[in-house]
Amino acid sequence: MHESIEPLRLRRAPVVRIYDVGETTVLVGPDGDAHELAGPSAQLTRAVLAFALAPRTRAEIIAHVEALSGAPLTDAAVVDELLGLLRRLEILIPATPPRRRATGKRPRLLLGITGAIASALTPGLVGLLQQRGFEVRIVATEAALRFVQAAALEALVHHPVRHDLWARDPALPVPHINLAAWADVVLIAPASATTIARLAAGECSTLVSAVALSTRAPVLVAPSMNLDMFAAPVLQRNLAQLTADGIHVIHPGTGRELAEAPDERVATLGPMPPHPAIVDLVEAALRIAVTRRRGAEGPPRDDAAWDAIYRTHADDELAWQRDALDDDMLAVLAREAPAGASVLDLGTGLGVGAIAAAARGCRVVATDVSEAALARAEARAGDAAIVWLRDDIAESRLRGRFEVILDRGCLHLLTAEQRPAYAAAVARLSAPGGVLVLKTHDPSEGASRSTTPHDAAAIERLLGDAFVLESDAPSTLPGPHEAPAARLFVLRRRPG
């Protein structure tokens, strides 16, 4: 939806396969196909690639080419053809907004390495973790340091690589406790069969296993070994034990086990997955842990607390946030909200419902108790004609009548005292014959979400005087990491 509002921006991919020789530039695609460009085409390619180090729109690229040549382009097709080729070869890719971290603090990752041959590749993993925003410290088993030099890792992290439980270091008087407390997340990658056995048995004779067993942070373990070792029943038993104990066990990839003889390496299950996949999993586990912690704390109960959440949390840290309105709510909008219809989006948050309604040509008012949410929603909406208002539906000062009222997860956040005021407000604001499209958590979620899930009976008790409940369908309230069970209610305003 945003692509239709904002022009697509392209940027040079982080990894490209290109070489220049003389007047020629050779581009190689991910499938290995080579494209040779010579003379002016090569020059144009080099100029576009240099310019696209920052995200650029097509119009900006054309303007840049014109500025370089000192004359307007007679035929933009040449540039379009080149952009098409560069996109096909994945040399130019759509620019995604950089992931913002809500706080300035970088997550602290303690990396444990063990005597699996994939430890030889640790510098690459450390570099990638740092690139993705982690502050990294390293602990190693003695066997790990046969595969990789501590000095190389220390040059990357600017901290000693620790392997000794008994090291005398005033900065870390009891290393396993100090490091366990320091970490926001612990990753053991690669994890040898021996270290896995230690973790399963609660055996803390190495610094790696002692830290992993004493931390309160999430622990991820990436087994890495050859297929026979991985398939051994004892190893599988140990992994099942780790999973049961709450350790995150990363599935191995199918890769070439490096410890096999070079001529005998065939792809088998067992080695740990490539580094980017491991970092994706660490980020996901951290986000889920943070969301859970917040869920346990419960939703904020006042406007200032909501404002604080919207000021300090990135989009993907808001458990309910999605970039597009849920399909089932969109389907009701398509049916009930023709262009020109008046739509009220209650508790709009980052404005997803309001933006969807505006995209249909509706006249939209969007409200929230948080000014910070409204400011972010307005920025996301670009030119969409939406009226953004700070309003609390339980003490609403809104006027007017709306043909459609959208509520995605607002009612279920209200207290028992606030709900009658909500019912009176939506009845007053709904045009006769208009619909209230209402999504709440499903009762099967219990109180685990710190919301008040609703079923049809509860909805009818609350809203039945003013509305007819037309439909009650099972649904979900998808967020960035989870899609808890929900119910979608469609209620029609009784006349009068």
Shortest distance in whole angstroms from residue 162 CB to ligand FMN: 14
Q: From the CB of 122, what's the least distance to ligand FMN, in Å?
A: 13
Q: Which is nearer to ligand FMN, 194 or 452 (CB)?
A: 194
205 or 312: whose CB is closer to ligand FMN? 205
Give the residue ranges of DSSP H helices in 360-418. 371-381
Alpha-carbon torsion, ordered 121, 123, 129, 135, to 10 deg: 140
Answer yes or no: are the C-beta atoms of 441 and 412 closer than 8 Å.
yes
Q: How far apart are CA 103 and CA 133, in angstroms?
A: 12
Query: Quick one: tokens of 467?
Result: 């509305």
Nearest residue (beta carbon) to ligand FMN: 115
CB nearer to ligand FMN: give 41 or 114: 114
SS3 category, 193: helix
Nearer to ligand FMN, 144 or 463 (CB): 144
Residue 194 C-beta: closest distance to ligand FMN, Å:
4
* Nearest-approach distance from CB 152 to ligand FMN, in angstroms: 18
Q: Which is nearer to ligand FMN, 45 or 224 (CB)?
A: 224
Least gap, CB of 203 to ligand FMN (angstroms): 10
155 vs 232, beta carbon nearer ligand FMN = 232
CA 178 to chain centre: 30
- Pick 67 or 232: Cβ nearer ligand FMN: 232
Phi, psi of 26 (to 5 degrees): -110, 125
Q: Which residues contact 254 (CB under 8 A, 6 or more apart)?
A: 267, 268, 269
Q: Which residues contact 293 (CB under 8 A, 6 or more apart)?
A: none
| Beta carbons within 8 Å of 335's beta carbon, 6+ residues apart | none
Using an 8 Å Cβ cutoff, are 488 and 437 in contact? yes
Residues facing 15 on adjacent strands: none
Residue 151 Cβ vs ligand FMN, minimum distance, rounded to whole Å: 19
Beta carbons within 8 Å of 9's beta carbon, 6+ residues apart: 55, 56, 57, 94, 95
Are 350 and 376 in contact by the 8 Å Cβ rule? The answer is yes
Residue 345 parent element (H or E): strand 342-346
Segments of 48-192 assigned E as strands: 56-57, 92-94, 108-113, 135-140, 185-191
Nearer residue to ligand FMN within complex by CB, 193 or 354: 193
Q: How far is the CB of 193 from ligand FMN (least distance, A)?
A: 4
Least spacing, CB of residue 275 vs ligand FMN, in Å: 16
Q: How far is the CB of 226 from ligand FMN (least distance, A)?
A: 7
Instruction: Give residues in contact with ligand FMN (CB under 6 A).
Output: 114-117, 141, 143-144, 192-195, 206, 224-225, 229, 259
Residue 432, token pair as written in the block: 């006769």
Q: Which is nearer to ligand FMN, 275 or 441 (CB)?
A: 275
